[in-house]
Amino acid sequence: MSNLLTFDEYLINERLNEDFLKKVIFLRFGFSSKGMSGRDDPKSILINDKVADEVFLTYKTDKDIDDDSIKVDTNLPIIYYGGTRDSALAFLKKHKIKKENLYNKPEFIQLSGNKKKFHKLFENAYFIPKTVFSKEDAVNHLTFPIIAKPATGHSGVGIQKFDDRKDLLKSKDEFDTFSEFVDFKKEFRLLFFKDKCINIDERVTNLKTKRDIRSKKKDETLDFVYVKQDMAKVPFLGEIKKIAKIVRAKIPIDVFSLDIVINENNKIFVLETNAATGIGAGKLLKFYIEVYEDFFGSGLPRWFTDELVKKYNDPWLLINYSKQKKEIASSEWAIDYEELSKKTKKTKKL
């Protein structure tokens, strides 16, 4: 009996499917939903898959490239999340995807995803920590401590902090960039659609593992709790918008993130940008709305976006709330998770 819908629910679902759902294509390399958002719990994976399959027209290029029965509607907008994978590029070619319909183009994705290329492009930008590209230059021209990184990778694997020249010279590891360490008080991941910041999460170090850039070992991943921020409270949106415009002038990507830190003097430093950023259910929904409205030139109705938020976004945000209350409480500009939890429980009872 639990699968039966009320008449009102049936009508809403019919309207969703008929009018506004599956009007944006999500083209991704066929990794798991865990790879999409960084969360590996079954509930997160389930709701990520639901958004990808129920809201979008989703194609997984490594699996779908050989399926000749697939016919892609090339008149629809496409969020391209395939990077420079062979199967993703072959999928674009096979289905004659219009370049003007792509939100993110392969040639620009590789610029944003490669830390060395990114830092070379913005070598003298005021918002980038001083960076060099050889161990010799790091020893002679940087102020320690420094952060050394490989050009590619994710989640902090391979990144090391060196407190002095002696430690760096002893290391036999290979790195592509060497940057002066910013003694930060807060760090954030900001999600953008073009020049518009559409989501901000504070990256709060998991209090159980305490693995942040100051303490983690080279082969360990960074371990963050992503705490959604109330955009109305965040004081640096004006400065971030300026920075995003500068970044997009050189790397014209549409769907991307910026990882930033803020020091004690409230100065913003950009650590990297990423066009294949972690986008779980809630963030996918935001991109659906932004791309739809940008491409078709018309706003989605409020009842529809509210329904998406209630059905997918709010439950996704609250999946790990009970385990992360201390980290959330430490975030100055966080949304009111407690109030959201009460509202969601109340909605379920109705």
List the one residue out of 125, 120, 119, 154 whose CA is nearest residue 276.
154
| 335 located within any domain | no
Same domain, 126 and 255: yes
Q: Does residue 133 come out as left (phi exceeding 0), alpha (psi in the -120 to 50 range) or beta?
A: alpha
DSSP symbols for 196-241: EEEEEEEEEEPTTT--STTT--TTSPP-EEEEEB-TTT-TTHHHHH
Q: How far apart are CA 149 and CA 175, in angstroms?
A: 5
| 344 located within any domain | no
Same domain, 11 and 129: no
CATH number, domain containing residue 185: 3.30.470.20
Q: Into how many domains does the chain fold?
A: 2
Question: Hey, which residues does 261 pair with through a beta bridge?
Answer: 187, 269
Q: How far apart are CA 161 and CA 220, in angstroms?
A: 13
Q: How far apart are CA 279 and CA 221, in angstroms?
A: 18
Structure tokens at 36: 């999409």
Same domain, 173 and 53: no
| 204 located within any domain | yes
Same domain, 91 and 219: no
Query: For residue 37, what pLDDT is reported?
Result: 59
Structure tokens at 198: 């559409």
Buried b (16+ CB within 10 A) or exposed e, 287-313: bbbbbbeebeeeebeeebbebbbebbb
In this structure, which amino acid lies at residue 20? F
Same domain, 140 and 263: yes
Query: For residue 349, what pLDDT is reported?
Result: 55
| Tokens 């506004």 belong to residue | 20
Same domain, 189 and 235: yes
194, 246 contact by CB (below 8 A)? no
Same domain, 139 and 257: yes
> What phi, psi does 69 have (nearest 5°)?
-80, -15
Query: For residue 2, what pLDDT is reported?
Result: 46
Question: What digits encode the pLDDT tens for the residues 244-283?
Answer: 999 999 999 999 999 999 999 999 999 988 887 778 899 9
Query: For residue 158, what pLDDT is reported?
Result: 72
Give the chain's length.
Answer: 350
| 158 located within any domain | yes
Average pLDDT, 10 consecutive residues per value, the chain (350 residues): 54 64 90 59 87 94 92 95 88 94 89 84 93 94 92 65 91 91 94 95 85 62 86 95 95 94 95 84 94 96 92 93 94 96 74
Handedness of CA 218, 229, 327, 239 (dihedral sign): positive
Same domain, 247 and 264: yes
Same domain, 94 and 185: no
- Fill in the DSSP letter of residue 4: P
103, 77 contact by CB (below 8 A)? yes
| 338 located within any domain | no
| 340 located within any domain | no
List the one residue out of 173, 88, 187 whose CA is nearest residue 138.
173
Element (DSSP H or E) covering residue 184: strand 184-193
**What is the span of the domain harbouring residue 50?**
7-104+277-319
Structure tokens at 14: 């019919």
Same domain, 118 and 185: yes
- Fill in the DSSP letter of residue 73: -
Same domain, 55 and 198: no
121, 111 contact by CB (below 8 A)? yes
Q: How far apart are CA 144 and CA 291, in angstroms?
A: 43
Query: For residue 95, what pLDDT is reported?
Result: 96
Same domain, 74 and 150: no
